[in-house]
């Protein structure tokens, strides 16, 4: 599989990045051993790039994969992120990642900033400064931000310390905040022109675009400035199909048919209408009507961020 440079960082990654979110306890709930086996298979078949986050609780899954490899996955590039707001919280998040992943140096550490606007750089100044300090101490190789916002991508292009930008982009423009799909494409191009390394999230809009998986990936892969695409995987069939696409090989129809059984979000009857999911959703895809949460499928990108905040465990992605 092709490897691409991430901006000016000197880090080279495969175009397919393994998104580790869906296998974790927020979504499918694979054990670290089960998830680790799938990650290991991906690495053995050429993938060298993993995307995770403090909040995904999937460090044990990655650790299980790395520990099972003869070279402990030395060549594997790990990108993680934290929603920490202060310097101290971010320092703890970096330490947690180093310890849990068994690595002295984290390749890429991002501000996890899905739904905020460009004020994030002021509001989370302490957390950002901590990342810069940890980079200068040599425990992080590259610093960046993950975002659903066009404004944030534009701003990040101007911020010297930002090495990496991880934006949402997909052919339908689902989940993009503060602008249109085409605005985001332009912002990505500008950020790449400023020397930032970019990889894309939600190319399949959380599974909503699985019915034309090849078209959805082709759209994002063709965007100028995108070096890699993070794709969540929980099954070997998904790995097979994604490897075929990113290796530019034909995808057997039987495999497509097996994989295209789209993910769903279910709200169970014992929802108490507290509204925590409404506050958390980055895409305004939840509302409380008559005392119960209701999901707007036209806005929902099946990111799963609402599930862990529900005090009743009433939200499930299946
Ligand atoms: S967070 Fe859970 S209980 Fe609260 S409204 Fe949402 S689904 Fe219902
Ligand atoms: S409703 Fe939940 S899964 Fe859907 S976009 Fe909002 S946070 Fe993500």
Please tell me the distance from the alpha carbon of residue 290 to that of residue 48, in angstroms, as a whole number. Answer: 48
> What's the CATH code of the domain at 298?
3.30.70.20
Residues 205 and 227 in one domain: yes
Residues 62 and 27 in one domain: yes
Closest ligand by atom to 297 CA: 2
> What's the CATH code of the domain at 215?
3.20.20.100
Residues 246 and 304 in one domain: no
Is there an atom of ligand 1 within 6 Å of 280 CB?
A: no
pLDDT given for residue 262 in this prediction = 60
pLDDT given for residue 136 in this prediction = 98
Q: Whose Cα sits closest to atom 5 in ligand 2?
A: 300
* Contact of 87 with 127, CB cutoff 8 Å: yes
Closest ligand by atom to 311 CA: 1
Please tell me the distance from the alpha carbon of residue 258 to that of residue 274, in angstroms, as a whole number. Answer: 37
Distances (CA, A) of 96 to 22, 78, 173, 305: 20, 14, 34, 21
- Containing domain of residue 312, as a range? 265-317
Phi, psi of 144, rounded to the nearest 5 degrees: -165, -160
pLDDT given for residue 261 in this prediction = 59
Could you say which of 244, 259, 274 is where a domain stops? 259
Residues 113 and 73 in one domain: yes
Residues 281 and 222 in one domain: no
Please tell me the distance from the alpha carbon of residue 164 to that of residue 8, in angstroms, as a whole number. Answer: 9
Please tell me the distance from the alpha carbon of residue 13 to that of residue 276, in angstroms, as a whole number. Answer: 37
pLDDT given for residue 302 in this prediction = 84
Per-10-residue mean pLDDT, the chain, length 318:
94 98 89 98 98 96 97 95 97 98 97 85 95 98 96 96 97 91 98 98 85 93 98 94 96 80 82 95 93 93 85 82
Residues 115 and 235 in one domain: yes
Could you say which of 259, 277, 296 is where a domain stops? 259
Closest ligand by atom to 286 CA: 2
pLDDT given for residue 7 in this prediction = 97
Q: Strand 265-267 to strand 315-317: parallel, antiparallel, or no bridges (unpaired)?
A: antiparallel
Residues 193 and 274 in one domain: no
Opening angle at CA 75, ends 72 and 78, nearest 5: 90
Is there an atom of ligand 1 within 6 Å of 308 CB?
A: no
- What's the 276 CA to ligand 1 centre distance in angstroms? 6
Residues 206 and 272 in one domain: no
Residues 248 and 309 in one domain: no
Residues 137 and 228 in one domain: yes
Residues 90 and 230 in one domain: yes
Residues 196 and 300 in one domain: no
Is there an atom of ligand 2 within 6 Å of 131 CB?
A: no
pLDDT given for residue 211 in this prediction = 78
How many C-beta atoms lie closer than 10 Å to residue 94's C-beta? 23
Is there an atom of ligand 2 within 6 Å of 231 CB?
A: no
Please tell me the distance from the alpha carbon of residue 171 to that of residue 209, in angstroms, as a whole number. Answer: 9
* Contact of 139 with 105, CB cutoff 8 Å: yes
Of 267, 279, 310, the residue with max ligand 1 atoms within 8 A of its CB, to mutate for a pocket test, comes to 310
Distances (CA, A) of 179 to 19, 154, 301: 25, 11, 17
How many domains, in total, are found in the chain? Answer: 2
DSSP states of 27-60 as a string? TT---HHHHHHHHHHHHHTT--EEE--GGGT-HH
DSSP states of 202-233 as a string? -TTGGGTTGGGHHHHHHHHHTSTTEEEEEEE-
Q: Strand 77-82 to strand 49-51: parallel, antiparallel, or no bridges (unpaired)?
A: parallel
- What's the 111 CA to ligand 1 centre distance in angstroms? 26
Is there an atom of ligand 1 within 6 Å of 29 CB?
A: no
Helices vs. strands in the chain: H and E counts, helices first: 11, 14
């Amino acid at each position: 599989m092709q490897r691409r440079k991430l901006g000016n960082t000197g880090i080279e990654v495969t175009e397919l990045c393994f998104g580790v979110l869906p296998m974790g306890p927020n979504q499918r709930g694979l054990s670290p051993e089960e998830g680790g086996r799938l990650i290991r298979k991906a690495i053995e078949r050429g993938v060298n790039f993993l995307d995770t986050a403090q909040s995904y609780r999937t460090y044990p899954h990655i650790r299980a994969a790395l520990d099972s490899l003869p070279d402990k996955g030395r060549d594997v590039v790990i990108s993680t992120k934290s929603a920490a707001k202060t310097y101290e919280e971010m320092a703890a998040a970096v330490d947690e990642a180093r310890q849990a992943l068994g690595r002295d140096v984290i390749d890429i550490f991002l501000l996890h900033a899905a739904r905020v606007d460009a004020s994030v750089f002021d509001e989370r100044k302490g957390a950002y400064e901590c990342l810069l300090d940890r980079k200068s101490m040599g425990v992080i190789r590259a610093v960046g931000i993950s975002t659903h916002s066009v404004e944030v991508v534009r701003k990040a292009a101007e911020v010297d310390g930002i090495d990496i930008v991880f934006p949402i982009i997909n052919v339908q423009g689902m989940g993009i905040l503060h602008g249109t799909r085409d605005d985001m494409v332009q912002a990505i191009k500008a950020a790449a022109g400023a020397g930032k390394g970019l990889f894309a999230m939600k190319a399949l809009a959380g599974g909503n675009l699985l019915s034309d998986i090849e078209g959805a990936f082709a759209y994002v892969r063709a965007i100028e400035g995108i070096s890699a695409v993070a794709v969540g995987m929980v099954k070997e069939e998904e790995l097979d199909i994604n490897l075929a696409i990113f290796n530019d090989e034909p995808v057997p129809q039987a495999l497509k048919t097996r994989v295209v059984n789209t993910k769903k979000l279910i709200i169970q009857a014992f929802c108490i209408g507290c509204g925590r999911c409404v506050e958390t959703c980055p895409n305004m895809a939840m509302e409380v009507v008559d005392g119960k949460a209701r999901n707007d499928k036209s806005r929902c990108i099946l990111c799963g961020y609402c599930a862990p905040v529900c005090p009743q465990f009433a939200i499930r992605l299946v």
